Amino acid sequence: MLAGFAQAGVKVGEDIGIVALDDTQEASQCYPKLSSVRCDVNTFGQLTADVLLNWVEKDVRPNDQVRFPVDLVIRDSSSRE
């Protein structure tokens, strides 16, 4: 995707901002460095399992929203303004 924008003359981080989900090692190594949302996959998995088990075992329907902690890692692919 980053290469496609570059070929089209679109400057990532200036003309368009991109933020990925799950802060992988590659996000900090590509060009431009990719901003991303870092989430703890273990916490995400545990919360998901808890919601599903409560629904199946106790017939407790999940809320419309389940929130878990994340961090926004700002790098070159998104504006800092």
Is-contact 4 20, C-beta < 8 A?
no
Which residues constitute the domain of residue 69? 2-73
For 35-55, write each residue's pLDDT tens digit: 999 998 888 899 889 989 999
Q: Is residue 79 part of a domain?
A: no
Residue 20 placed within a domain: yes
80 located within any domain: no
19-30, pLDDT tens digit by residue? 998 888 999 999
Q: Does residue 33 sit within a domain?
A: yes
Which of residues 69 and 53 earns the better pLDDT score?
Answer: 53
Mean pLDDT, rounded, of the chain: 89
Residue 25 identity: Q
Q: In whole angstroms, give the CA distance from residue 4 to residue 62.
A: 40
Which pTM was predicted? 0.70
Length of the chain: 81
Domain count, the chain: 1
Residue 80 φ then ψ, to 5°: -105, 10
